[in-house]
Amino acid sequence: MKRAIVFGATGGIGSEICNELAEAGWSVYVHYRHQDKLAQAICSELMDKYPMQDFIPIKLDFDIDDSELEKFVANLLPVNAVIFSQGITKYGFLGEQKLDDISNILNINLTVPIKLTKIFEKKLITQEFSRIIYLGSVYGEQGSPLEAVYSATKAGLSRFCQAYAREVASTNLTVNVIAPGAVDTKMNAIFSAETLQDLKSEIPTGRLATGKDIAFWVKNILQPESRYFTGQTIYVDGGWLI
Ligand SMILES: NC(=O)c1ccc[n+]([C@@H]2O[C@H](COP(=O)([O-])OP(=O)(O)OC[C@H]3O[C@@H](n4cnc5c(N)ncnc54)[C@H](OP(=O)(O)O)[C@@H]3O)[C@@H](O)[C@H]2O)c1
- What pLDDT was estimated at residue 75? 98
d(CA 108, CA 187): 15
Cβ neighbourhood burial of 95 (10 Å; 0-12, 13-18, 19+): exposed
pTM above 0.95, yes or no: yes
Distance 201 CA to ligand 1 centre (A): 24
Determine which residue's CA is closest to atom 20 belonging to ligand 1. Answer: 187
d(CA 169, CA 148): 31
- Which long-range CB contacts under 8 A does 152-157 form with residues at least 24 apart? 152/106, 153/105, 153/106, 153/109, 153/110, 154/109, 154/179, 156/110, 157/109, 157/110, 157/113
Q: Which residues line ligand 1 (CB under 6 A)?
A: 8, 10-14, 32-35, 61-63, 85-88, 108, 135, 137, 180, 182-183, 185-188
- What pLDDT was estimated at residue 242? 85
> In this structure, how many other beta carbons lie within 10 angstroms of the beta carbon of residue 206?
10
Measured on CA atoms in the order 35, 38, 40, 42, is the torsion positive or negative?
Answer: negative
Which ligand 1 atom is nearest residue 180's CA?
A: 6
d(CA 198, CA 93): 21
Low-confidence ranges of the chain (pLDDT < 70): none
DSSP state of 186: G
CA 52, chain centre distance (Å): 25
pLDDT per residue as tens digits for the range 57-106: 999 999 999 999 999 999 999 999 999 999 999 999 999 999 999 999 99
pLDDT per residue as tens digits for the range 116-131: 999 999 999 999 999 9
